[in-house]
Structure 1
C-alpha cells in the first residue's frame, strides 16, 4: 500500500473530510482500487506523477455515492430495483463534480468520471468506446472490477484470485486488452499479493479505513 502510505498528512485530512463513516465498505474498496491502479499504471510504463494520480483516483473513484449514501447504504435489501440503478449510474458524474470542487486535476477527474465505461462501448455515463475512454478510466475499470470481486458483499462472499481472474477473462470485452494483459502479468507479484492479503483482512474486518487515512498505518 505504498501509494496510500505516501499520501501527505494534508491529503489524508482532505480525503477524510470528504469520506464518511457510513461508507466504510466503499472506502475499503477505494483503498484496494488505489493500490491496484498504481501498480497497473506503473506496469503500463506511466510516469510517476500519473501513477500517483491513479492512486488518488482509485481512492476516491466512488465518492459520488456520498450523495446517494442514505439511499444506497441504509437499505437492507441485497438487490437494487431498476429505479435505484438509474440513480447509481449518476455517481461518476456526481463524483466528478465533487472532486472538481476540491481542486483535483484533470487526470484524476477523468479517471473518476469514466471508470464505468466499458471498452466495447456498453458502459456509462457516456457509452464511450475503446481509446475514446481516457487511460485513467480504462485503468480504474479493470482495478474496480477485480477489487469488487475479491471483496465480501452483502449479497455474496468474495471470490479468490483465480476465480476473480476467470470471471474477468469471460468479460474481457469490457477491458482494454493491452492493459488487462499487463494486469495479468503482475497478478502474482509480491505487491499485488499484498493487495490480495489486505482484501482478506478487510473481509475479516481486521483493518479500519480510518487508520489508513488518518495516520497511514495498516
Structure 2
C-alpha cells in the first residue's frame, strides 16, 4: 500500500512537471510570435512588453481578478498578430495609407480572430486582438461596437496602445511629447475611449510622469 501511494505521488509530480513545462513552452511561443511581428513591422523596440505591463497595471488598479490577467496578458502580447496577414507594401509603407489600403489594414483584427479562435487555450485571450480598435462612440472597427459592448480588456488596451503609439517614433512621424499624448487621451475621453479607463490611466500618469521609466 505504501509503495502504491509513493508511485502515485511520483506520477502526479511527473504530470505536474510536464504541465509546467508545457505552459512555459506555450508562453515562449507567444513571445516568439510577438517578437517576429515586431521584427517584420520594424516596430519600436519593446512595444509589446510596454503595453502588456501597462495594461496589467490598469487591470489591477480596477480590481480585475488575478485569474483573468493571464488571458489579458496573452491578448495584449498578441494584439497585432493579425497584421501577419497584411501585405508588406501596406504594413511597411513609410507614409499615410490610402483609403483602399486602410480597408485592407482594418482587416487585421479579423485575421487575428480567425487565427486565434482555432487554438483552444487562446480563445479566452481573443478580446484584445479582436476588439482593441473598437471605439467608445462606435466609430472603431471591425464590428463598430460602442460603449460597454466593447470587452473591458479591449477598452483598457485601447488607451494603452494609443498612448504607446503616440509617444513612439514611427516611420511616418516623430514621437509626440508625453503631455501632448496625454492631452489627446483626455480630449477623447467619452468619445474614443472609456472615461473610466482614461481616469485610471490619468492616475498612473500623474503618479509617474516624472519617472523616466514611464513609457
TM-score interval, normalised by the smaller of the two chains = 0.7 to 0.9
Distance 2:154 2:96 in 1: 26
78 and 23 in structure 1: CA distance in 2 versus 1, 3 angstrom threshold: same
Distance 2:117 2:210 in 1: 30
Shift of 1:159: 1.8
Within a 5 Å distance, the mapping from 1:6-155 to structure 2 comes to: 8=24, 10-17=26-33, 19-20=36-37, 21-25=39-43, 28-75=46-93, 77-155=94-172
Shift of 1:9: 5.2
Larger radius of gyration between Structure 1 and Structure 2: 2
Shift of 1:79: 1.1
Residue 176 in 1 paired to residue 194 in 2? yes
Paired residue secondary structure (2:117): helix
Shift of 1:192: 10
108 and 191 in structure 1: CA distance in 2 versus 1, 3 angstrom threshold: farther
Please say if residues 185 and 198 of structure 2, whose CA atoms lie closer than 8 Å, have aligned partners that are also in contact: no
Structure 2 length as normaliser, TM-score?
Answer: 0.78
Please say if residues 111 and 136 of structure 1, whose CA atoms lie closer than 8 Å, have aligned partners that are also in contact: yes
Distance 2:29 2:45 in 1: 14
| Structure 2 unaligned blocks of 5 or more | 1-22
| Structure 1 unaligned blocks of 5 or more | 1-6, 200-218
Q: Which moved more, 1:87-96 or 1:43-52?
A: 43-52
Partner of 1:165: 182
Please say if residues 30 and 74 of structure 2, whose CA atoms lie closer than 8 Å, have aligned partners that are also in contact: no
Deviation by residue 1:150-169 (Cα, 9 ceiling, x = unmatched):
11111211123211100111
Shift of 1:111: 2.0
Q: Between Structure 1 and Structure 2, how many residues are aligned?
A: 190
Distance 1:113 1:192 in 2: 34
Greater RCO, CA 8 A, separation 6+: 1
Distance 2:149 2:33 in 1: 33
23 and 158 in structure 1: CA distance in 2 versus 1, 3 angstrom threshold: same
